[in-house]
């Protein structure tokens, strides 16, 4: 992606008018309209004659489809794909404790994981992509820098790719759908579904780069903080590897500490955050509940919801994409939203958006056709 040279000002002193302009453009392009909040686009199943009849008799009726043996096996495989790597990591930590791992490296691993993961979930995703709240320029730059250290790509390209996903979710044009490839459907059967799951999880990264992303990033190019951080991507990737290495060296006052800090807080941390993020693309479009009607196969997955700091409540997110809160029910833990609230308490965030109760209720009744979607700021 070409870098814009139009903005050379310091992001820590940039004027807030760039964000105002961006927020005027983004919701029209990628918030409510294209991300299907209040959209009249629904799945073929929702518009089938049987479904329409059910809704006519009972507007709150839900369609329950029997789960095939193949789908049941796939759900078990998905659960294993999420939990087994973490179990292996825990086992490795236990076996290496006192040899190549200790409490110091655990703190470095967890600390760097949280910083970079929040950079993705709160910074890249909810702030930059969906404009779910606003922040001063320095905070916006810091969150984008933290997300860049996760090594998932420059902030502007990441956001543009994600906006494209929302517009074409689980249809032709979606860059990482487990249901539809660039050539069409993955077809039926367990093996084909596994191929789709692999594509959504990691295979899409090896596909040809998406074209035409510029139209998804016009407002982002107006934000000087994001433009500057986008240019600094490689610098922040390097910083994300050097910081844990230096911490390990300072804590242990040894060269071995530097190496192990780099290993656990750098390489292992990148692997961990990568797979949690990728699980949202794959697992959360295959396994979980669908309390809201959307035009895709997005699902709420409690395992990914917890590990992904709230990102796993994915059906909620696709139903209300501009909402800063993804865990809409009291028991749906959304740590990323809690961080946003903490930022507001410190004066670092405002204009936090979430759907009001009538809108949530209307979505649960699957009465999306012809309804106006509104997000209201938190009180």
More reliable by pLDDT, 145 or 209: 145
Q: Contact, 57 vs 365, CB < 8 A?
A: no
Residue 1: pLDDT band by 50, 70, 90 thresholds?
very low
Does the CA dihedral 19-20-26-31 come out positive or negative?
A: positive
- Alpha carbons 175 and 1: distance in angstroms, whole number: 16
Calculate the alpha carbon distances from 165 to 35, 80, 105, 177, 344 in Å: 9, 25, 36, 8, 29
pLDDT at 180: 79
Tokens of 346: 């410190």
Determine what percent of the chain is predicted with pLDDT higher than 70: 70
Residue 30: pLDDT band by 50, 70, 90 thresholds?
very low
pLDDT of 248 over the 90 cut: yes
Q: Cα–chain-centroid distance for residue 323?
A: 13
Mean pLDDT over 283-293 rounds to 92
- Alpha carbons 163 and 187: distance in angstroms, whole number: 25
- Alpha carbons 106 and 93: distance in angstroms, whole number: 9
- Alpha carbons 91 and 70: distance in angstroms, whole number: 30
Tokens of 132: 């779910």
Tokens of 296: 């895709």
pLDDT of 42 over the 50 cut: no
- Alpha carbons 296 and 305: distance in angstroms, whole number: 19
Mean pLDDT over 325-333 rounds to 96
Residue 4: pLDDT band by 50, 70, 90 thresholds?
very low
Tokens 């086992």 correspond to: 91
pLDDT of 62 over the 70 cut: no
pLDDT at 38: 37
- Alpha carbons 166 and 113: distance in angstroms, whole number: 26
pLDDT of 117 over the 60 cut: yes
pLDDT of 134 over the 80 cut: yes
pLDDT of 242 over the 70 cut: yes
pLDDT at 173: 84
- pLDDT tens-digit series, residues 155-204: 999 999 999 999 988 888 888 888 876 666 666 667 777 788 888 888 78
Residues 6+ apart with CB under 8 A from 97: none
pLDDT at 54: 36
Q: Contact, 121 vs 308, CB < 8 A?
A: yes
- Alpha carbons 171 and 347: distance in angstroms, whole number: 40
Mean pLDDT over 273-297 rounds to 92
- pLDDT tens-digit series, residues 65-93: 455 665 566 556 555 555 666 676 777 77
- Alpha carbons 20 and 36: distance in angstroms, whole number: 23
- pLDDT tens-digit series, residues 333-376: 999 999 999 999 999 999 999 999 999 998 884 543 433 333 44
Cβ atoms within 10 Å of 288's Cβ, excluding its own = 23
- pLDDT tens-digit series, residues 86-107: 676 777 778 788 778 899 999 9
Q: What is the pTM of this model?
A: 0.75
């Amino acid at each position: 992606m070409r870098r814009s040279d139009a903005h050379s000002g310091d992001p820590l002193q940039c004027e807030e008018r760039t964000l105002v302009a961006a927020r005027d453009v983004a919701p029209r392009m990628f918030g409510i309209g294209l991300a299907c909040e209040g959209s009249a686009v629904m799945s073929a199943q929702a518009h089938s004659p049987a479904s329409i009849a059910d809704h006519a008799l009972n507007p709150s009726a839900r369609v329950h489809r029997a789960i095939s043996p193949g789908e049941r096996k796939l759900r078990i495989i998905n659960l294993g794909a999420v939990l087994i790597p973490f179990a292996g990591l825990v086992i490795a930590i236990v076996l290496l404790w006192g040899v190549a791992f200790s409490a110091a490296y655990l703190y470095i691993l967890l600390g760097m994981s949280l910083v970079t993961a929040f950079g993705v979930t709160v910074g890249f995703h909810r702030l930059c992509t969906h404009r779910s709240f606003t922040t001063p320029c320095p905070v916006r730059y810091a969150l984008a820098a933290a997300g860049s250290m996760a090594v998932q790509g420059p902030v502007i390209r990441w956001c543009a790719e994600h906006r494209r996903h929302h517009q074409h979710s689980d249809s032709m044009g979606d860059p990482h759908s487990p249901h539809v490839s660039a050539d069409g459907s993955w077809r039926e059967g367990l093996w084909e579904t596994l191929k789709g799951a692999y594509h959504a999880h990691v295979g899409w990264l090896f596909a040809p780069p998406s074209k035409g992303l510029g139209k998804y990033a016009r407002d982002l190019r107006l934000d000087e903080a994001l433009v500057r951080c986008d240019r600094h991507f490689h610098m922040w990737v390097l910083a994300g590897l050097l910081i844990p290495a230096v911490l390990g060296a300072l804590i242990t006052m040894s060269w071995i500490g530097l190496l192990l800090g780099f290993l656990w807080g750098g390489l292992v941390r990148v692997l961990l955050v990568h797979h949690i993020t990728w699980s949202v693309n794959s697992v959360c479009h295959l396994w979980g509940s669908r309390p809201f009607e959307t035009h895709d196969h997005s699902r709420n997955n409690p395992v990914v919801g917890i590990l992904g700091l709230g990102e796993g409540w994915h059906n909620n997110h696709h139903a209300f994409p501009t909402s800063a809160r993804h865990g809409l029910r009291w028991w749906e833990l959304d740590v990323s939203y809690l961080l946003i609230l903490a930022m507001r308490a410190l004066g670092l965030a405002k204009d936090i958006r979430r759907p009001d109760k009538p809108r949530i209720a209307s979505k649960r009744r699957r009465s999306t056709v012809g309804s106006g979607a509104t997000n209201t700021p938190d009180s």
